[in-house]
Structures are given as C-alpha cells and as structure tokens.
Amino acid sequence: MDRLVDKVAVITGAGSGIGRVAARLFADEGASVVVADIDADQAGEAAAEIAAAGGTAVPVGVDVSDEREVADMVEVAVGRFGGLHVLFNNAGVFPADDGGILDTPPDTWQRVMDVNLKGVWLGCRAAVPAMLASGGGSIVNVASFVALMGAATAQVAYTASKGGVLALTRELAVEYARSGIRANSLCPGPIETPLLSELLADPERRNRRLVHIPIGRFGRPEEIARAALFLASDESSFVTGSALVVDGGITAAYVTPE
C-alpha cells in the first residue's frame, strides 16, 4: 500500500470507469491525486470517495482538449501538492457515430482527435516542465488494443487517435529518457465501463466482441488500473517507450479457443 508514497499524480477522465478506479488505487498507494474530468460533479464525487477512505485528492473540472484548462490542471497539482510525479492521461471518448472510412462524420473525427490525441499531447506538454522541476516522473498514456490490430467493427477515428497515442508516447519517452521522465502506453482490451455500456448492452454486439477474447470475458477497470499503477510507480523504473497490452489475450490470438 505504499507504491506511490510522496508522489503527486494527475489522472484525467477520473470521474468514471478506469480513471475513477485508478484514482482510488493510486490514493490507496499513498499518492496525492488530482482527480480531473470534464464532468466536474463526477470528479467531485470521486475525490470525496477518496477523502472518505482516508486518502488525499482534489477534484478539477477540465476539458483535456483545452490548452489553458490543462495547464491550470497541472497548476493545481503543483500549487496544492508541491510538484508532479505521475500523469495518467486516461480521458477518452468513443462516439457512437464513429464508424467506417466512408461513414464517419468529419466533426466526429475531429472531436475524437481533439480529446483522445491532442488531449494527451496537451497533458504531456503541461506536465513535463512540472515533472522536471520535481526531479522526474512517469507518464502513462491510454491507447487501446485497437491501436495494434484492425477491427472489422470499424471505429476509424478512435483507432487512428489511439495509434497516434502510441507514436507520441514513443517519441516522448526517447526525448526525455535521460531527464528522468518515463513514458509508456497502456493498451486495454474491452473493459466493462460506461464507455462501452451501450455497445455491451446489445447481446449481438457484445457476443461479436466476446468471441475474440481468449480469456473468455471482458476486463474489469481495476485490471487496467493495476497495470497503470505498475507503470506509474518506481517498480517499472527501467520501462519506457513501451506499450503494455492488457487485453485478455486478444492480440495474441489468431483463432480463439471455443
């Protein structure tokens, strides 16, 4: 319970799903956590839960695609907790009308890029100077298994944005490797969170995905949060520029066992 003692962590998208569970886990491991989300009420609830459990957290309402708001988010970490050591760039969107090459509306493409890719860049851009001033840190950017393989159930904007996260993270890792900042991507498989609730509520769409998961079930948010904790903590001190795949075996399989 002490893997993030004396660390200050910013988690985006921390009002729901993976980010919310990670915020609680990081706080349980000793971090002071900035709980950031575009839904300020949800961020407030998540921070209150952490405080009620004896942890340290402050909520921040932020749109990760807004440069000024992202800079302010990092300022909260430095101002309230004295520095920044961990950034978990987890906020993301998965709009229902993101589909194939021909049918995805350009506005949807742009919104997905703004949140999922530009938002990650802006987070890194704001965090790096604060981490350098804090003696180094770890950045964990959430991509997806779809950044590694094509899906017949197309979602081109989402997939392209997550591919961009992998490429951005590699460059970030190399650029700051000798400055004490590590950067890694996390590639979750399908996880039961509000992001997928509509899709997974439809038995046919649910089963179409389930048949591809060798482990035979969808993932749980805590299974991703624990991987993020490993990358965030000093336990992964020689890991940088990598993409950690946590997908129940999807990307390893050609044919999934019955």
Q: Lay out the site mask for ligand NAD across 115-154 (x = CB under 6 A, - = otherwise).
A: x---x----------------------x-x----------
| Whole-number Å distance between alpha carbons of 135 and 105 | 44
Cβ-Cβ contacts under 8 Å for 256 (sequence gap 6 or more): 211, 212, 213, 214, 249
CB nearer to ligand NAD: give 138 or 193: 193
| Whole-number Å distance between alpha carbons of 107 and 109 | 5
Q: Lay out the site mask for ligand NAD across 4-33 (x = CB under 6 A, - = otherwise).
A: --------xx-xxxxx--------------
Cβ-Cβ contacts under 8 Å for 11 (sequence gap 6 or more): 19, 22, 23, 26, 33, 34, 35, 36, 88, 90
Among 91, 139, 173, 231, binds ligand NAD (CB under 6 A): 91
115 burial via Cβ count (<10 Å: 0-12, 13-18, 19+): buried
| Whole-number Å distance between alpha carbons of 201 and 213 | 17
Rounded to a whole number of angstroms, the minimum distance from the CB of residue 5 to ligand NAD is 25
Residue 248 engages ligand NAD in binding (rule: CB under 6 A): no
12 half-sphere exposure, CB direction, 13 A CA radius: 33
Among 39, 45, 67, 222, binds ligand NAD (CB under 6 A): 39
229 half-sphere exposure, CB direction, 13 A CA radius: 25
Rounded to a whole number of angstroms, the minimum distance from the CB of residue 1 to ligand NAD is 23
Q: Which residues are catalytic?
A: 158
Q: Name the helix (H) or strand (E) containing 106.
A: helix 106-112
CB nearer to ligand NAD: give 94 or 176: 94
Among 23, 33, 34, 90, binds ligand NAD (CB under 6 A): 90
Angle among Cα 188, 118, 115 to the nearest 5 degrees reads 60
66 half-sphere exposure, CB direction, 13 A CA radius: 9
Among 28, 47, 65, 156, binds ligand NAD (CB under 6 A): 65
Q: Lay out the site mask for ligand NAD across 180-199 (x = CB under 6 A, - = otherwise).
A: --------x-xx-xxxx---
Rounded to a whole number of angstroms, the minimum distance from the CB of residue 130 to ligand NAD is 18
Cα 87 to Cα 34, 139, 156, 204, 249, distances in angstroms? 10, 5, 26, 37, 27
Instruction: Choose one: 47-55, 61-69, 173-181, 235-243; the region binding ligand NAD (CB under 6 A).
Output: 61-69
CB 58 within 8 A of CB 48: no
CB nearer to ligand NAD: give 132 or 170: 170
Binding residues vs ligand NAD (CB under 6 A): 12-13, 15-19, 37-39, 42, 62-65, 90-94, 115, 119, 142, 144, 188, 190-191, 193-196
